[in-house]
Amino acid sequence: MKIAEVRPLVLGAAWRNLTFVVVRTDEGIEGVGEVRMINHTSALLGYLDEAVPTHVIGADPFAFEALARRMIRDDYARAGQIAMSALAVIDMACWDIVGKALGVPVYQLLGGPIRDRIPTYANGWYTVERTPDDIRNAARAAVTKGYRAVKLDPFGTAWQELPNSELRRAIGLVEAAREGVGPDGEVFVEMHGRFTPAQAIAIARELEPYRPGWIEEPVPPDNISSLVKVARKVNVPVATGERIHVRHEFREIFERRAADIIQPDLTMMGGITETRKLAAWAESYDVLVAPHNVGGPVSTAAALHLAAAIPNFKILEHFNDFVDPFVSQAARGIPTVTDGSFPLPNGPGLGITIDEDVIAAHPRRPIHLNLFGDRWHLRGRERERV
């Protein structure tokens, strides 16, 4: 069996363009991968234009390691977000093909499921005004959709430091989210790399009464020493990793005990194959894995299969119950969230079937998501709030 064709398809939604990649073999089996490239979709498509004929066409879809070696080593340049995302979508599609060829779900190929439910948390639910009442009500609405955990960034456009008034406002929003999910729910606090270590430490101490499940990316991701300072001074778990795209860059985080939870995005760090290796490495340091997942249904499916099979999995991020329905309709087969978790996917491969008509009906959009811009948290719903 050889790869005969690779077709990228881009779906445009309110705040993200999703790139689906269909890989077809000479035996007619198709697999699919997907990635949300924040503000860099054209770069990914350009890389695929060069990499696919050079490294992918004619490849054996069962030979994951050989494919990765060609796409990364044989290109010689140091791999980053673009190259690792290109590898990821091809890798996901190959796992889908192999599962379909053998008639088994991908998680069986990863050693079989350790768990039959995949805990998940809601993101994208707080596209409301930054008031306690609106946040409390939105959190309650997430609970009615079947979630028991939510994540929010309550810090507006903050950078480096917060005035006391804004700090009080942000803490009030976390308190409201806690009230919305109740005492037995989870509230995770996203910081998007906004703060200095001193400010992040001060915020974490103010958050302690609301029992956050973690503070996420409290400082910019390019300075591990700053992250270490935070981790040693706070009494809540620290999570990070969504903006790390190659495995070796986690080494210092592990060795210096800079995080309790890592959040690799398998769509941007080489796919299922590479993320599975990272999870095994993290397990040696007693570090949990909570995959970053801001993509659509295909990336969610891939993350579910990985989550089913890794011992140190914690919880999976999920946006798609809080966005336009056509995003989920672009690929069918994702199970429904109930009682805070997904059941295992059914069917061979990733267990999903894409609908190219839905994707074609929602073409790529001219989107620039700026997490430091005014009212960014509305994520394309600004007109609904006017």
76: left (phi over 0), alpha (psi -120 to 50) or beta: left
- Please determine, for residue 92, whether its predicted confidence score (pLDDT) is greater than 80: yes
Closest by CA to 304, choosing from 180, 118, 140, 133, is 118
Element (H, E) at 202: helix 197-207
The whole model's pTM is what? Answer: 0.96
Structure confidence at residue 382 (pLDDT):
57
Tens of pLDDT, residues 330-385: 999 999 999 999 999 999 999 999 999 999 999 999 999 999 999 999 987 755 44
The count of other CB atoms within 10 Å of the CB of residue 235 is 8
Average model confidence (pLDDT) for the chain?
96
Chain-centre distance of CA 347, in angstroms?
23
Q: Classify 170 as helix, strand or coil.
A: helix
Q: What percent of the chain has pLDDT over 90?
A: 97
The per-residue pLDDT for 139 is: 98
- Over residues 234-248, the mean pLDDT reads 97
30-57 tens-digit pLDDT: 999 999 999 999 999 999 999 999 999 9
* Catalytic sites, residue numbers: 192, 292
| Burial zone of 208 (CB within 10 Å; 0-12 exposed, 13-18 middle, 19+ buried) | exposed
The DSSP result for 54-102, as a single string, is IIITT--TT-HHHHHHHHHGGG-SPP-HHHHHHHHHHHHHHHHHHHHHH
Percent residues over pLDDT 70 in the chain: 98
CA distance 381 to 377: 9
The residue type found at 289 is: V
Please give the pLDDT value at position 379.
87
Domains of the chain: 3-104 (3.30.390.10), 108-350 (3.20.20.120)
pLDDT reported for residue 385: 45
| pLDDT at 386 (0 to 100) | 39
Residue 223 — very low, low, confident or very high, per pLDDT cuts 50/70/90? very high
Return the H-helix or E-strand segment holding 132: helix 132-144
